[in-house]
A and B are shown apart, each in its own frame.
Chain A
């Protein structure tokens, strides 16, 4: 199963909002087979997830985590939808 991870500095606030919104978007897109979770930057290692979603402020610090998706606004559902959809395509998870 593929894993998408929302990451922020503390793992308490914004990453959880992104986590919930990724789940919402995946449901809208009709994509199954993706586990979504959230974490703080310090506890994530490269390889922990297929795609890592971060705000632009920690984009650089998260650069080593593999497929890093940078969000300009973490509450812009349209931006997230487009970027989640692109990630599902990259990882061969497009809706059936």
Chain B
């Protein structure tokens, strides 16, 4: 059983440690899913958490049918393998209006992209537990999706840590 992972994580502000204000993006216009992946990964690329290889790995994965990153409720968790260009663990998020179609597939409209870079297979788990718990909560998820600026998003994420 790994329940201890979640119990530990709930006491620490890991989600907003990664999802800082500069990593919460609200672009006016996004030109399709490739542009969305480029944009949401830009803060992680800029601060050195990932290399260009990671962005390309995500693009290749999605283009190859990797729409499993669609979590439902128009939320996508964009990620690739740690060995594909992750330097250190990082998260970023981007709100998109109107929705873009993941891999141009009508079955996968996305309005919130979360980009996850996991430096190894365990370090990011506490933050992921918080994110999963938040996204699985109807009220919290709706508030997060409805955010229109970083401050509103941060307020929901902060509440999700408790």
Write the chain B residue with the least CB distance to A79. B72
User: Once the chains are docked, how many angstroms separate the CA of A13 from the CA of B58?
Assistant: 13
Residue from A16, A18, A36, A57 whose CB has the most chain B CB atoms within 10 Å: A16
Contact of B129 among A16, A36, A73 (CB under 8 A): A16
A75 pairs with B80, CB closer than 8 A: no
With contacts defined as CB atoms under 8 Å apart, how many contacts are there between chain A and chain B in the complex? 79
A17 pairs with B68, CB closer than 8 A: no
Q: How far is the CB of A16 from chain B (nearest CB, A)?
A: 5
Write the chain A residue with the least CB distance to B79. A13
B71 pairs with A17, CB closer than 8 A: yes
B73 pairs with A14, CB closer than 8 A: no
Q: List A residues 8-46 near B (Cβ within 8 Å).
A: 8-14, 16-21, 23-24, 35-37
Contacts known (A20-B6, A20-B129); A12 close to B73, Cβ less than 8 A: no
User: Once the chains are docked, how many angstroms separate the CA of A17 from the CA of B137?
Assistant: 12
The size bracket of the interface on B is: 20 to 34
Contacts known (A17-B136, A21-B136, A23-B3); A75 close to B141, Cβ less than 8 A: yes
Nearest first, the 5 closest Cβ-Cβ pairs linking A and B are: A73-B72, A17-B132, A57-B68, A75-B135, A77-B136
List 12 extra interface pairs beyond A17-B135, A73-B71, CB under 8 A. A11-B121, A12-B79, A13-B77, A14-B68, A14-B69, A17-B136, A23-B3, A23-B6, A57-B66, A73-B73, A74-B72, A77-B137
Give the B-binding residues of A (Cβ under 8 A).
8-14, 16-21, 23-24, 35-37, 55, 57-58, 72-77
